[in-house]
Amino acid sequence: MFYSTVCTFLAIYISVFYSHSDGNILYAEDTLAEKYGKVIYSSLLFRHGERTAANSYPTDPYPLSIWKEGTGQLTKRGKNQAYELGKWFRERYKNTLLREGYRYDLLRAESSDVDRTLMSGELVLAGAYPPTKEEMWSDDDLIWQPIALHTVPSSYDNKIGSSAICDRYQYETQLLNEISKLQNLYMDQLDVFQYVEDHSGEYFNSNDIYSAYDSIWNIYDCLFIQNSHNFTLPKWTKKVFPEPLRTVSSFHFILDVFTTEMKRLRTGPLLNNMIEDMKNKISSPEFNQTIHFYSGHDITIAPFLFSLGIYNSIAPPYSAAVIVELREKDYNYFVTILYRNSSQTPPYLLVPSACGEICTLNKFIEITKPLIPENWQEECQINFSNRLQNLSTSDILVLLFAVATTVIAALVVIRICLERRRKEYNPF
């Protein structure tokens, strides 16, 4: 009797203790499993945690040197955000994809080659794969085990950081200047650009809409970070910060993938990787992998969502995560996309409108097909015939002049050759 009471108390204590230890992890349960089946593969694309400022502007009273962690580096809060996200993944998949604990062939983790994404990736993995009792390896009782995190040099990264050079993409950013809808938008917002230019000392090139929005975003981002660290912002900012500056500058995320060609070059490689993984999972018994982590940036997440037509136009917060889940129910496959943009609310189910109520895997593949280049390298080359179609009058004049000069030069050369030949054949 005594023992059974003690045992009951112990059981209650243990369950309270454990539920308490997970108590700060909210809304991790899979509420879609009943309807669309269990998750058999998950791609997790997340943004790094809070960082220090990465850029400044000419009249900025706070030099970048005041950040003792360095510029663009994770803060302590940022580390907690990434670690918390990892624990949320563990909680969500502890009975499914993460049941078997860590095994090298069950996951792949990749990051852009930037300190804050590499570090956030490590923290997410630390939260998702705490060593089990058997996996403990350190004499220091360290509740951590190393997990492989892959990266490629920035100049090769066309998937997460989008830092690989792509001439065609650069060219597409210039074509944005020709789109009247964008010209009108820019004119509508010109007073904000002008006001910020006058006070920040930053120059916005009105002939280059893409770079103008990029530059004004950098100023907003800088003010946002200073403000969230309780710095007193300069008086002039009161008129525009946070609004309308936030809304105006956030448009730069959409400009990143404004045209279909930009979507292909920018999000195609990442989408392709996710889809290939899902196909492999279904068709290849040797493909043991069940989770793919991508540690990236706001400029990875927003363009990805916008390309799928499910972006809410709000800059992705720190540690925001897009979770692309492949589900199986009675041999039917579904793809569900969740957006976890806060630890305090349940993740949002985002469904591309072309899918209807929910995406079947086949439908998802079909609607993303136009977004995936067959050969990214090749498509990145500037297409001369496209360029010809977009020539301006002055370009044409220059081209005509070049052609005329070449023809005249050729005629002169031919003439000289003929003269020589005549002389050579003349025996006298």
Ligand X SMILES: *[C@@H]1O[C@H](CO)[C@@H](O)[C@H](O)[C@H]1NC(C)=O
| Residues assigned a catalytic role | 48, 298
Q: Return the residues of window 105-134 that contact ligand X according to CB under 6 A.
A: 105
Residue number with CB closer to ligand X (200 or 290): 290
Among 4, 65, 230, 426, binds ligand X (CB under 6 A): 230
Neighbours of 201 (CB within 10 A): 11
Determine if 383 is a binding residue for ligand X (CB under 6 A).
Answer: yes
Among 113, 115, 214, 379, binds ligand X (CB under 6 A): 379
Q: Return the residues of window 272-301 that contact ligand X according to CB under 6 A.
A: 286, 288
With CB under 6 A as the contact rule, which of the stretches 85-93, 311-319, 356-364, 414-422 interacts with ligand X?
311-319
Residue type for 316, please?
P
Determine if 348 is a binding residue for ligand X (CB under 6 A).
Answer: yes
Spatial separation of the C-alpha atoms in residues 72 and 94, rounded to whole Å: 33
Residue number with CB closer to ligand X (95 or 288): 288
Residue number with CB closer to ligand X (147 or 190): 147
Residue number with CB closer to ligand X (139 or 286): 286
Residue 186 CB, nearest approach to ligand X (Å): 25
Closest CA to 97 of 36, 20, 25, 44: 44
Residue 228 CB, nearest approach to ligand X (Å): 7
Long-range contacts made by residues 12-15, C-beta under 8 angstroms, separation at least 24? Answer: none
Residue 289 CB, nearest approach to ligand X (Å): 9
Spatial separation of the C-alpha atoms in residues 41 and 394, rounded to whole Å: 54
Residue 422 CB, nearest approach to ligand X (Å): 46
With CB under 6 A as the contact rule, which of the stretches 65-73, 83-91, 265-273, 382-390 interacts with ligand X?
382-390
Spatial separation of the C-alpha atoms in residues 94 and 129, rounded to whole Å: 10
- Cβ contacts of residue 347 below 8 Å, gap of 6+? 27, 321, 323, 338, 339, 340, 341
Among 312, 377, 390, 406, binds ligand X (CB under 6 A): 312
Residue 340 CB, nearest approach to ligand X (Å): 9
Residue number with CB closer to ligand X (283 or 385): 385
Asked if 273 and 293 touch (Cβ cutoff 8 Å), the reply is: no
Q: Return the residues of window 385-424 that contact ligand X according to CB under 6 A.
A: 385-386
38 - beta bridge partners? 328
Spatial separation of the C-alpha atoms in residues 339 and 310, rounded to whole Å: 10
Determine if 377 is a binding residue for ligand X (CB under 6 A).
Answer: no
Q: Where are the alpha helices (DSSP H) in 341-392?
A: 361-368, 376-379, 384-389
Among 366, 378, 395, 419, binds ligand X (CB under 6 A): 378
Spatial separation of the C-alpha atoms in residues 27 and 6, rounded to whole Å: 32
- Helix or strand (DSSP H, E) at 332: strand 332-340
Spatial separation of the C-alpha atoms in residues 292 and 284, rounded to whole Å: 16
Among 193, 341, 355, 371, binds ligand X (CB under 6 A): 341
- Cβ contacts of residue 113 below 8 Å, gap of 6+? 151, 152, 153, 154, 157, 161
Residue 392 CB, nearest approach to ligand X (Å): 18
Among 145, 147, 317, 351, binds ligand X (CB under 6 A): 317
Strand locations in 86-180 (E): 107-111
Question: Which residues in this chain contact ligand X in the complex, by CB under 6 A?
Answer: 105, 229-230, 286, 288, 312, 314, 317, 341-342, 348, 378-379, 383, 385-386
